[in-house]
Amino acid sequence: MTAFEAAALRGIIPPIVTPIAPNGQVDLISLARLTSWLIRQGVHGIWACGTTGEFPCFDADERENVIGTCVETSAGRVPVVACIADCSTRLVIEHGQRALRAGADAVAVTPPYYYANSQDELLDHYRAVRDAIDAPLFVYNIPATVKVKVEVETIVTLAAEGTVVGIKDSQNDLDFARTLSMAAGQRGAPLRLFLGTRSLIDAALLVGAHGCIPGIANVVPRACVEAYDAASRGDFNVAFAAQERVVAALTLTRVIQGSPQAAGLGGLKAALKAMGIIEYASMADPLRSPTAEEEGRIAELARGLGLKVLSAA
């Protein structure tokens, strides 16, 4: 991805789930099948090894293989953005070098997790990563999981100096997104703004976002794309109707008991299994995988949503 292409990145970029076999091994065959299906559904890119992809649960080799499979399957049809986050700058750089070796078009980095870094430390962190990794760099702002919020001034400073080209903000905070978009514009700082939202795709464009990176797009990518496309052309009645289908699909993520976020990921996997796109609904241990009964309930919900369920779970 050239700098010009990075500046044109837009639309719906699913944070792809990472299929796992019951023995804990990454199922690269299912991953390739899912990647290909998402692209056929019209998505604008693939976000590999993100939160929805359970990235903290995999070692460096596994993460590189996931990124490589997405890149190979995409075959240049859409860009692949690889999350290379970890607990230290050194580890992030190592993941970044592997991501580039695997063919990623751009990389994304959360604040380091475990220690709560200051904004000055985050500035140093992103600058060091960009100096070492010759690829467009995105801030991945997700304070719910990493304990630190990347502040507007930090993001705009990094964008103005050319360290980062964009951000995925996963706070579901339209006020923050609008403030960030306006601040970047006032500073003349080029910044591609994406929201990690599920229910605000149409609203995201109204506050200056260039697209969304919603986990639910793994299951209803076409509805997400339709919501984005309609909002882009100002047809908000059509966008709202598409967004209603997206919101309805969130019922798939509420069946499984467990940690709320991980349970939602299990619901996505169970739906994709019922649709015949991935082989298993297994989660990385110790996250709880769906039971057979839960898979059956999710399959029925998927049918009710009009999704093509190939077989009973």
Q: Which residues are known to be catalytic?
A: 140, 168
Sign of CA dihedral 63, 128, 134, 108: positive
d(CA 116, CA 125): 13
